[in-house]
Amino acid sequence: SPADTVRALEARIAQVDPQIHGYLSRDFDAALKLAESADVSLPLGGVPIAIKDVINVTGEPCTAASKILLGYRSNYDATVIRKLRAAGAIPFGRTNLDEFAMGSSTENSAFGRTNNPWDTSRVPGGSSGGSAAVVASHEAFASLGSDTGGSIRQPAALCGCVGLKPTYGRVSRFGLIAFASSLDQIGPFTKTVRDAGLLLNVISGRDPQDSTSLDEPVPDYTAQLGRDLKGVRLGLPREYFIEGVDPQVDSAVRAAIKHYESLGAEIVDVSLPNTEHAVGVYYIIATAEASANLARFDGVRYGHRAPDPTGLLDQYGRTREEGFGPEVKRRIILGTYVLSSGYYDAYYLRAQKVRTLIRDDFTKAFEKCDAIVCPTSPEPAFKAGDRSDDPLKMYLADIFTIAANLAGICGISVPCGFANVDGRQLPIGLQILGKPFGEAQLLQIADAYE
């Protein structure tokens, strides 16, 4: 029964989470109450789903892993939560992340890092590292995360689960704490591709409260699963098979491509010539949007407020000084700089133009293929502490995931084998990128591999 499920989860979490630290908080009593009245005839009836701590759930904290939101509790449900409830699911637990979803390792959380379940001295990826780790360590059946530049796909790859970033506009962002509004999308972490389809069925669709959500029909995303791959063309982007990719990752991805060939898919070469600019463009656009979005955290409306201010500016300044961590401050400063008068044209405007070129690259590539296959991450999980002092090195962890957000297309990471590192097995992720609103075929292709 759903209540037994919640109790089993409670036992598992008590046993495992002290080593993993995937959850920031959870309320078993509230979940049990919902479980007792769950309607199991609904599509997700009685299934607890873990939620990244940037998505609002009525009555629960929503910290974005930041001290600035300590004490805040949501007074409304995000649209994805409303939809999960309508499908019978139980939003359960708040998962750890890099503060305000800024990072690739979950080390930027103000509340301590999350550990990779395969080797706890390594990172789970990020920013949705908690959401990936709880699914991989069987502390959740599935979870929701958000992906601005890879934050679902990269941790899914490093933890060995399935992570889906839907097309921009497929899922409502209402109730998601905004990082970079033109890039953010909510999506699921699951153990199987079918489960990802089941969750996408529920959370997709136009929402009047998010004007960027589109009125595209929502098909049954599980309907194409199991179909064969005859006639399906998979593109290999030459710019993604480069030096610097870990040899074990490279060979696992090549083996996956061979496997696709044996399943009847046709492999074609494609080129995404502007790939080399993606990381630079992303860190201009994402920081610019973040600097504007994070202006609302001023000590007046939400969470933390610096005590005994001498005036309004002092209150703003000290609240933000005390509340934000170093990476968030770095990005606010960068974003403010690229938007400032005199620099706007040189950085922000130029980045927007190159973004269009990156999007055009994908449009052209999709004339030759149905989906693109490549590594999700250039390497398996790295050691905690290895990159936390070197932002540039950390930014390169997303080199293969960022372009999809700039182009607005959908993408998924599925496990495709293991690397042997220091006598341990570390999961490797295969990334498949699909056409805008092509999630049904994307899932079909991912499922065929699985």
**Residues found near ligand GLN in the complex (CB under 6 A):** 101-104, 127, 147-151, 179, 286, 398
Q: Which residues pair with 431 in a beta bridge?
A: 374, 413
Is 151 annotated in the active site? Answer: yes
User: Helices in 218-311 by DSSP H: which ranges?
Assistant: 247-262, 278-293
Of 148 and 213, nearer to ligand GLN (C-beta) is: 148
The contacts of residue 130 (CB under 8 Å, 6+ apart) are: 21, 22, 23, 24, 50, 52, 53, 95, 96, 97, 106, 114, 124
DSSP state of 22: -
List C-alpha distances in Å: 101 to 82, 186, 301, 394, 430: 22, 12, 20, 14, 22
CB 124 within 8 A of CB 107: no
| Strand 266-270 to 371-375 pairing | unpaired
Determine the distance from the C-alpha atom of residue 11 to the mean position of all C-alpha atoms in its chain, rounded to a whole number.
27
Determine the distance from the C-alpha atom of residue 14 to the mean position of all C-alpha atoms in its chain, rounded to a whole number.
25
> What is the smallest separation between the CB atom of 226 and ligand GLN, expressed in angstroms?
31
Of 62 and 236, nearer to ligand GLN (C-beta) is: 62
Of 406 and 440, nearer to ligand GLN (C-beta) is: 406
Q: Which of 151, 204, 291, 413 is catalytic?
A: 151
Of 93 and 187, nearer to ligand GLN (C-beta) is: 187
> What is the smallest separation between the CB atom of 165 and ligand GLN, expressed in angstroms?
9
Q: Which helix (H) or strand (E) holds 179?
A: none
Name the residue whose CB lies closest to ligand GLN: 151
Of 110 and 232, nearer to ligand GLN (C-beta) is: 110
The contacts of residue 198 (CB under 8 Å, 6+ apart) are: 43, 44, 221, 222
Of 328 and 443, nearer to ligand GLN (C-beta) is: 328
| Chain position carrying tokens 């065929």 | 448
Q: How many Å apart are CA 198 and CA 44, to the nearest integer?
A: 8
Q: Which of 109, 127, 172, 204 is catalytic?
A: 127
Q: How many Å apart are CA 279 and CA 401, to the nearest integer?
A: 9
> What is the smallest separation between the CB atom of 262 and ligand GLN, expressed in angstroms?
33
> What is the smallest separation between the CB atom of 383 and ligand GLN, expressed in angstroms?
17
| Chain position carrying tokens 């030759």 | 368
Q: How many Å apart are CA 398 and CA 254, to the nearest integer?
A: 20
Of 107 and 370, nearer to ligand GLN (C-beta) is: 107
DSSP state of 381: P
> What is the smallest separation between the CB atom of 149 and ligand GLN, expressed in angstroms?
3
> What is the smallest separation between the CB atom of 327 and ligand GLN, expressed in angstroms?
8
> What is the smallest separation between the CB atom of 401 and ligand GLN, expressed in angstroms?
7
- CA geometry: angle at 70 spanning 64 and 72, to 5°? 85
DSSP state of 150: S
CB 236 within 8 A of CB 267: yes
| Chain position carrying tokens 């933890």 | 159
The closest alpha carbon to 94, from 81, 79, 103, belongs to: 81
> What is the smallest separation between the CB atom of 127 and ligand GLN, expressed in angstroms?
4
Q: Which residues pair with 296 in a beta bridge?
A: none
Of 93 and 149, nearer to ligand GLN (C-beta) is: 149
Start-to-end CA distance of the chain, whole Å, equals: 29
Residues that are catalytic: 52, 127, 151
